[in-house]
Amino acid sequence: MTPPPTDAPPTDAPEAAPPTPIPERQGLRHARELERHLAWLDTFTGTALGVLAAASGIYTYLGVRSLLDDTGAWTTFAALSYSIAVSVGIFVFWSYMMRLLPAVRTAASRVGLLLSMALGCVAIIAMSSWLNAAALAGAAAVEQHLATTVQTYQGALERAHSNAIAGQSLGRDVARVRQSFGDLSEQEAGGNLSGLAGQGAVFRVLTQKAAELGGLEAQIAAQDGPVAAAFAEGNTILSKMRALTVEPGAVEARSVRFSEEAVRLSGIIAQLRQLNVAPLVARAAQDLADSVVLPDLDGGSALARSSQASTIDSVLQLLRQRAETLNGAAAEVIALPAPDETVYTPVSAADAVIRYAGNFIPSWAGAIAIDLLPAVLVFIVMVTQSAIRTGRGEGTAEDTMTVADLRAAIAAARALQEPVYLPGEPLPRDPGPRA
């Protein structure tokens, strides 16, 4: 029987794989290029994350120290421990995200990791970013709080002074009523009211009320000086408070002096409220009609006494009308908006940054960016890994084997073809050449 030719291929040999299409080879080449770039970037990505985490930890330390009043060794150790924990937590979290999120392929796994990353970002902002913002803009935020407080105190001082001036304006109404009773008393002295000339009972009633209104007018006029002095002193204190908001130096020391001036200004505002004479005028108007001492009728005849009684009734009715007028004017002043109850409350740098966050958006943006910048790197790696998978396509393992992989596979195949003999087992004899 003639043996088959030696150069003929064996009948059971596998068929050769069809050649890879050109677009697939280009996609594979592109994927390998991206892999080389990622491999080079991985050499310093960990260092970059460490630097960002360390920088965030430093600013976190400064923010924590601004919250703690004690300056002892334990306070320093506590703030340092917290900042180190924050740095380690940020570094580990973003290392997890950068390795795991780009590697997952299913939609459910990707959504789960994205939700985890969002939760981690919220935790980082809560434990670090606001402290970073306090370190970046804490002093400026406290100065903003001082400036806002100055504006509030200025509004309260101006309102209290305006109310006091409105009360002082009631003096003109009191003077007008006093003048009217004075004129009536002069007419009564000439006999033009009751028909009895002289200083009889009607004259005494009129002069009595004119004297009361004159005393009230004098009291109101006496408040002009204290009101002006209190307002001038309040403006002087306000000037000192404004200077403290922009004065160079540590903001903590300035806050203490600012608090002292705020207490003084609160006293001035309370003094101006007490100097308002509107309540006094309202009580005097009430007494003007209610407290009338009627003298004995001193007419020489019954007709004269009847005329005096009729005139006194008319005077009392006029008193009630004038009292209502004064009471209405005083009520209008009392109804004016009262100055706001302003109390200066010192705040820490961290609290001030949160309270006036809208005024320090750039500082907040920088504080959050230094913590969440690695999220951009995570998304970049995700997009790159997706491009690598797209470039590789659905090719088999043979399509992606390198020369080193091929050599290792050939060595493994040869090792499997060699017979394995157990210890003590006789080796087979060489049958020699066949005939």
The predicted-structure confidence for 397-411, as pLDDT tens digits, reads as follows: 555 566 777 788 788
For residue 434, being part of any structural domain is answered with no
Q: Are residues 97 and 51 in the same domain?
A: yes
Q: Which of 75-79, 153-157, 197-201, 344-348 has the highest mean pLDDT?
A: 153-157
Q: Are residues 81 and 186 in the same domain?
A: no
Helices (H), 335-394: 349-355, 361-392
Q: Are residues 31 and 64 in the same domain?
A: yes
pLDDT at 233: 92
Q: Are residues 191 and 99 in the same domain?
A: no
Q: Are residues 219 and 205 in the same domain?
A: yes
Q: How many whole angstroms separate alpha carbon 157 and alpha carbon 189?
A: 49
Q: Are residues 216 and 258 in the same domain?
A: yes
For residue 1, being part of any structural domain is answered with no
CB 157 within 8 A of CB 239: no
Of the chain, the percentage scoring pLDDT greater than 90 comes to 16
- Say if residue 135 is exposed, middle or buried (CB neighbours under 10 Å; 0-12, 13-18, 19+): buried
- For 377-430, the pLDDT digits (tens) are 999 988 888 888 777 765 555 555 667 777 887 887 777 776 655 566 565 555
Q: Which of 287, 322, 348 is the last residue of a domain?
A: 348
**Count of C-beta atoms within a 10 Å radius of residue 409:** 13
Q: Are residues 246 and 381 in the same domain?
A: no
Residue whose pair of structure tokens reads 């209610």 in the numeric block:
290
Tokens of 147: 């400036």
Q: Are residues 271 and 391 in the same domain?
A: no
For residue 4, being part of any structural domain is answered with no
Tokens of 291: 């407290």
For residue 380, being part of any structural domain is answered with yes
CB 330 within 8 A of CB 170: yes
For residue 428, being part of any structural domain is answered with no
User: Residue 6 carries which side chain, given as an amino acid letter?
Assistant: T
Q: Are residues 132 and 148 in the same domain?
A: no
Tokens of 412: 């493994």
Q: Are residues 146 and 211 in the same domain?
A: yes
For residue 311, being part of any structural domain is answered with yes
User: How many structural domains is the chain composed of?
Assistant: 2
Q: How many whole angstroms separate alpha carbon 13 and alpha carbon 384?
A: 40
Residue whose pair of structure tokens reads 């407290």 in the numeric block:
291
Torsion of CA 371, 372, 373, 378, to 10 degrees: 130
pTM for this predicted structure: 0.66
Does the pLDDT of residue 35 top 60, yes or no? yes
Report the chain's mean pLDDT, rounded to a whole number.
79
Helices (H), 101-200: 107-124, 130-168, 170-189
How far CA 409 is from CA of 19, 285, 396, 414, 415, in Å, comes to 21, 114, 15, 9, 10
Q: Which of 57-71, 180-194, 254-268, 334-348 has the highest mean pLDDT?
A: 254-268
The backbone region for 432, taken as left when phi is positive above 0, alpha when psi lies in -120 to 50, beta otherwise, is left
pLDDT at 237: 92
For residue 15, being part of any structural domain is answered with no
Q: Are residues 168 and 291 in the same domain?
A: yes
- Please give the residue range of the domain that contains residue 218: 142-348
CATH code of the domain containing 185: 1.20.1260
For residue 419, being part of any structural domain is answered with no
Q: Are residues 316 and 247 in the same domain?
A: yes
